[in-house]
Amino acid sequence: MVIQDILYETTGGLMKKNNGKEKIVVLDGYTLNPGDLSWEGLSQFGELTIYERTDPQDVISRIAGASVVITNKTQLDEEAIKNNESLRYIGLIATGHDVVDKKAASAAGIVVTNVPAYSTMAVAQMTIALLLEICHRTAHHSSAVFSGQWPLRKDDTFWDYPIIELDQKKIGIIGYGRIGRQTAKIAKALGMKILAYSRTADDPEIVSLDELYSSADVISLHCPLSDETYQMINSNSIKKMKDGVIIINTARGKLIDEQALADALNCDKVYAAGLDVVSKEPIEPGNPLLKAKNCFITPHISWVPIEARQRLMDIAVNNLREFLTGNPVNQVNT
C-alpha cells in the first residue's frame, strides 16, 4: 500500500498526516533512524509526529494529546504519564524498558511494549569484533603501515603488540540468553572452550560464577542490569580472575566498577578490555577508562547495523498493530 503523505516541519519535528485515527509521537527517532530507514510502517496507523531528540523539559508538551508514544531513551516518568489522559500505548524502540515508569503506566491502563531479540546477531558479532581487535590490534598495525613504518623495518613483517591466538582459550560468558549463546557459537568456531554462568539455564557449560572468574581467559558480559549485577565486575571479583584476563562488555556499562577496571588495567591484572557501553553515555571526559592502558571503547554501536535496526522497526510496527487489534504482544507491564 502506498501512503500519500504531506511532510512538513513542526516545532522541531517532522509530521506525517494521513487518514488514520491515532495521534502518534516519536520522541527520539534519530538514534533508530538517522535517515536510512522508513517511518511509513507507523504512519499507516494515524497522524505521526517524529522528533529527532527530546529534552526532558519538553516531554509533557510534545506528547500532549497523543494516544501513542514511541521512545528509545527519552524517559516517560509518572508526571509525564499522568499529564496525558489520551495516552493508551507506549512503544519502546529498544529492549530495555527502565526509561518508562511502568507502575504509573499500569495504573493508568497504558500498555507498554518493548522490542526483544532484534540485535542478537549484531551484538554477538560486535563482542567478537572487540575481542579480535584486542588479539590482533588490526587498527593499530594498519595505521602503522599507512604512516610509513613498514618500509623502515628490516624484515618483511613486524608487530609491536602481542598477537593472541584464541584456539583452546576459555571464554566465560556471564548471561546465557540469546546473545550469550550466539557469542558462544562464534567463539566455539574459533576453537574456544565455553564456560557460562546463568541463574536460569541448565546447560553442560554452566559453572559457578567463582569458577568462571578463576578459569576464564576472556570474560564477556551479556546479563541485564539489576541490583544483583550492578558493578559485578569490581575490585573483589577482579582479584578472583586470572592474571592477564580480557574483559568484554556489550551489555550495560553499570555492570562494571569503572575505576576498579581502570586500576586493574593499569597494573596489568587485566590485560585488556573491550567496551561498547559505559556507565554514563555519552562518556564523560573524567571517566577513568579513557586513560587506562589497553582499553578499547566504542560508542554503543553493537546494535546499529541497518539489518538489526530494520528488524527493530518492523517489530515496533507489529507491536503497535497487535495492540490496536486488541492483542498486545511484547508487553512489559501488567
pLDDT, position 226? 93
Tell me: cis bond preceding 299? Omega within 30 of 0 counts: no
Tens digit of pLDDT for each residue in 255-284?
Answer: 999 999 999 999 999 999 999 999 999 999
Average pLDDT, the chain: 94
For the whole prediction, is pTM greater than 0.75? yes
pLDDT in tens, 93-147: 999 999 999 999 999 999 999 999 999 999 999 999 999 999 999 999 999 999 9
Task: Quickly tell me which residue has 511484547 as its cell.
Answer: 330
Distance CA 175, CA 185 (A): 14
Higher model confidence: residue 21 or residue 170? 170
What residues pair up with 171 in beta bridges, in sequence order? 194, 218
- CB atoms < 10 A from the CB of 66, how many? 23
Q: Pick the catalytic residue: 53, 141, 178, 300? A: 300
CA torsion angle 320 301 242 265 (round to 10): -140
Do domains 6-118+306-324 and 120-297 share one topology? The answer is yes
Averaged pLDDT, 159-182: 97
Q: What confidence tier does 20 reach under pLDDT thresholds 50, 70, 90? A: low
> In the predicted model, is pLDDT for residue 1 greater than 90?
no
CATH superfamily of 6-118+306-324: NAD(P)-binding Rossmann-like Domain (3.40.50.720)
Whether 300 is a known active-site residue: answer yes
140 is catalytic: no
Catalytic option among 79, 85, 281, 307: 281
pLDDT at 2 over 70: no
Q: What is the structure's pLDDT at 104?
A: 98
Q: Is 238 a residue whose pLDDT tops 70?
A: yes
Helix intervals (H) in the chain: 40-43, 59-63, 78-82, 102-107, 120-136, 138-146, 178-189, 209-215, 235-239, 258-266, 306-324
Which one from 222, 252, 309, 311 is the annotated catalytic residue?
Answer: 252
Residue 12 has pLDDT above 90, yes or no: no
**Which residue's C-alpha cell is 577513568?**
288
137 is catalytic: no
Superfamily designation of domain 120-297: NAD(P)-binding Rossmann-like Domain (3.40.50.720)
Domain ranges for the chain: 6-118+306-324, 120-297
Confidence category of residue 201, pLDDT binned at 50, 70, 90:
confident
